[in-house]
Chain A
Amino acid sequence: MQLSRSARIALRVAAGFGFAVIYVPLLLVLVNSLNPDRSASWPPPGLTLHWWSVAWENSGAREALWVSVKAGLGATAIALVLGTLIAFAVARYRFFGREALSFVVVLPIALPGIVTGIALNSAFSTVLEPLGVGLGLFTVVVGHATFCIVVVFNNVVARLRRTSGSYEEAAMDLGANTFRAFVDVTFPLVRSALLAGGLLAFALSFDEIVVTTFTAGPGVETLPIWIFNNMTRPQQAPVVNVVAAVLVLLSVLPIYGAQRLSADTATGSRV
């Protein structure tokens, strides 16, 4: 399509505006972490690294970060196992309810978080509490794993659909048994899809707040919960600013990693 010169310029300006909308808020978070003042008024009266060292000493934020990492690793591990199992079943077998299964996998992320949250919350309190298990890190991991399964599943199933089962058959014709064929042929084929899926699952868990609110017991504070609880306290504002800035800086890492792993998995499958 031959666009006129003015149309091209208009599009450029509009796109520039769009990218500004996307990035100005993130840059603001970065600048605001250097704000010596407790208020968020603009422009900041000066720039200082003082709050970064204060934040570094903040035990609440540190503990919350640690809880988030533990929850993320636990949920990712479970999601990797379950997501891969479902992906193999769906990609390599035909069975009754196959379509329904692919649908149920997506459900936890498609439904509003608050619905999943209260459903799990009341299930945990009716089933686990009589057994003497209260809400805690364990229930957070279970909750997170439930909606992380889909990203692992999506990545692995996409990979399996593109690599036919004939490689495994060839391996078996050459004398490898089921396990041997998996270890030597299938696993190397899906390895990078597993990595990408795991990365996405961890990021998803690390960022989650709604399901966490309803599955965390008292005293279990993930980083998002910590930020949420401290956001409205003026006393804590500078530390929250620094934590927010760190999270913005960290968000560049996974995109870089996922992009390197495989171009196809990085784009469509955040959801």
Chain B
Amino acid sequence: MVLLTRTAGALHRRPRLRLSLLLAAPLLWLAVLYLGSLTVLFVSAFWTTNSFTSEVVKVWSTANFRELFTTPVFRQVILRSVGVALAVTVLCAVIAFPVAFYTARVARPRWRPLLVVAILTPLWASYLVKVYAWRLILSEGGLADWMLKPFGSSGPGFGLTAAVLTLTYLWLPYMILPIHTALEQLPGNLLDASADLGARAGRTFRSVVLPMVLPSVAAGSIFTFSLSLGDYITVQIVGGKTQLIGNLVYSNIELNLPMAAALGTVPVVVIVLYLLAMRRTGALSSL
């Protein structure tokens, strides 16, 4: 007991000591274990592999990155991945906007909290189960085929379209929520003022609502874009033979880890560039 009191006193007098005790374990974990592993990985992107033994040769070389930009397959896959991420983002925004507008502005105030929960709940459903659901929908003779049969066509089957649809489904709530919050916080008197000045609904929407909600769309897009760019499981399950960056990284791990590391830097760099671009819209502060 005396010891405890003494320790307490000693700690109280030395805020720096308190701080270092607080930070010792987390820093060991995050800075040493996590950042350390990441650094080693990115350094290893500059190593090469002996093509006969698959052993890593620890000699500095930029060969992997040269290969990355000159091999047509790699270039194609990188462009396709960025394209998929952008397509998913646009689709999410298009679907999310009316839903958020309804939940934040049109629905009765009493129902709004419940609707927010309805948007949130699917976030808790397992990622894999949601992808599996789309595997069921898009499989031969599945729900998609059944629904499109009366129109004389069939579902898209497994492939690039299926991957885009599934990724859109997975990340949609991340887009709805920020837009909902922004629309909800939109001051009503701004809208009244706009109407008083003679603007109709369409004009008010373009000149008042949209500019104020755009940072939140950008915030949502950070999730939809970066989550899509790094994904490889969804593509494996519903993408047929489609390959995205993640799949290339995955297929290189066993035989050529340095190449996998070099490929892995691509989504990281693209995501950082995207974040920097979005920062200009003020998206980061509305996260």
Contact = CB atoms under 8 A, between A and B. Distances in A.
- A and B found bound together: yes
A119 interface: yes
B232 A119 contact: no
B46 interface: no
B132 A118 contact: no
Contacts of B126: 206-207, 224, 227, 244, 247-248, 251
B276 interface: no
Interface string B1-39: 000110111011001001100110111011101111110
Contacts of B249: 114-115, 118
Contacts of B135: 40, 231
A266 interface: yes
Interface in B236-254: 237, 246, 249-250, 253
A172 to B, nearest CB: 7
B57 interface: no
Contact of B44 (A122, A206, A268): A122
A252 B246 CA distance: 31
A119 to B, nearest CB: 4
B31 to A, nearest CB: 7
B59 interface: no
Nearest to B125: A251
Helix, strand, loop or mixed for chain A's interface?
helix
Given A21-B172, A114-B264, A178-B8, 15 more contacts: A39-B141, A41-B141, A42-B141, A81-B25, A88-B22, A104-B34, A107-B34, A118-B41, A118-B253, A149-B29, A149-B30, A179-B8, A224-B127, A227-B128, A267-B177
Query: How many interface residues does chain A have, given as a range?
Result: 35 or more
A25 B25 contact: no
Interface of B: 4-5, 7-9, 11-12, 15, 18-19, 22-23, 25-27, 29-31, 33-38, 40-41, 44, 95-96, 98-99, 101-103, 105-107, 116-130, 132-137, 139-143, 145-146, 169, 172-174, 176-177, 191, 194-195, 201, 204-205, 209, 223, 226, 229-233, 237, 246, 249-250, 253, 257, 260-261, 264, 267-268, 271
Give 6 closest A-B pairs by Cβ, nearest first: A112-B230, A15-B102, A14-B98, A177-B8, A41-B141, A123-B37
Contacts of B95: 18, 21
A244 B132 contact: yes
Contacts of B129: 29, 227, 244, 247-248
